[in-house]
Structure 1
Amino acid sequence: MTNTAVWIQPLTEHVPGSSTRRTVHGSRCRTSQGLFAEWAASLGFPDHFSPNWDAFNDCLNETVMTARHDKAASERPQAALAVLVREAEELLADEPSGVLAIFLSVLSQSAGQDSRNPRLLLLLDAAPDRLPQVTERMAEAGFPPHPAGNS
């Protein structure tokens, strides 16, 4: 992938005020099993969620669409679901690099094709000295984040 993933942004980027924001902790997502548990709890996946990529994809899509539908009653029906990842440098740190690519691919599907109005935003929060490492890992996985300051 050569284009930036506009749906992945450093926390320094502007976040639309109408976005529904959820927070996950990268320190709890060092493995895929930890990621499944943290995202399921933070995003309110149903009790029947199974910790695997297919179920994660299904539940994430449902959560994204529900967030957008909930906003339909408000003045901004096309709001994105913004997921803030604290300690982003720890995201899938104990997994092979290919697992990060799978995760970002699933998120990319939920974000949709409209780069001007993504359905999902992934906001990366890390210490300033670690943010370059985070964006490099994302780029190596095929999803370079939208550069800071280029909204």
Structure 2
Amino acid sequence: MTRTTPWIRPLAEAPATAREVSGAHSRTRQDLFTEWSASLGFPGHFGRNWDAFTDCLRDIVPTAVVVRDAGALLADAPQLELAVLVDVLAEAAGDDSATPRLLLFLDDTPDRLASLNTRMAQGS
């Protein structure tokens, strides 16, 4: 998974300032909200729903996020949840493919990244 979208980049390109989240701690939507809000510094009034998640991402960008154990991302959630996450992240990244406001770097074994790529493609 290198350049499926302009805002998903190879891990080797991640800046030292990138924030990290755990895919292993983001297996369900509620787990994802907990993990990402803590790791990315969402405000205490974060509403733990997709609209609030979108708003919080908009407030913290531009930023770079490394997802460790990315293959586990929303693995225990319905397929639709991963599709919603991808849409939300794409919106946060913006329309400028040369300089996205959000960059995502996925870290896992090649087979787990391939599996995530398949799940992402099925949701689109």
TM norm. shorter chain > 0.5:
yes
Q: Name the structure 1 match of 2:75.
A: 93
Report the RMSD for the aligned CA atoms in angstroms: 1.7
| Paired residue secondary structure (1:45) | coil
| Paired residue secondary structure (2:64) | strand
Does residue 125 (structure 1) correspond to residue 90 (structure 2)? The answer is no
Percent of aligned pairs sharing the same letter: 53
Following superposition, the deviation at residue 132 of structure 1 comes to 1.2
Q: Name the structure 2 match of 1:73.
A: none
Following superposition, the deviation at residue 4 of structure 1 comes to 3.5
Residue deviations 1:11-43 (CA, integer Å, cap 9, x gap): 24x23x4x7411000011000000000000000
One-letter amino acid of the structure 1 residue matched with residue 43 of structure 2: P
Task: Trace 1:5-16 onto structure 2 (pairs within 5 A).
Answer: 5-12=5-12, 14-15=13-14
**Whose helix fraction is larger, Structure 1's or Structure 2's?**
2
| Paired residue secondary structure (1:24) | strand
One-letter amino acid of the structure 1 residue matched with residue 119 of structure 2: R
TM-score when scaled to structure 1? 0.75
Distance 1:137 1:95 in 2: 11
One-letter amino acid of the structure 1 residue matched with residue 49 of structure 2: N
Does residue 58 (structure 1) correspond to residue 55 (structure 2)? The answer is yes
Which segments of 5 or more consecutive residues in structure 1 lack a partner in the other structure?
A: 69-80, 143-151
| Paired residue secondary structure (2:24) | helix
Which segments of 5 or more consecutive residues in structure 2 lack a partner in the other structure?
A: none
Does residue 43 (structure 1) correspond to residue 40 (structure 2)? The answer is yes
Task: Trace 1:134-145 onto structure 2 (pairs within 5 A).
Answer: 134-142=116-124
* Count, aligned residues: 122
Following superposition, the deviation at residue 130 of structure 1 comes to 1.7
Q: Which has the larger radius of gyration?
A: 1
One-letter amino acid of the structure 2 residue matched with residue 42 of structure 1: S
Following superposition, the deviation at residue 50 of structure 1 comes to 1.2
Q: Name the structure 1 match of 2:91.
A: 109
TM-score when scaled to structure 2? 0.90
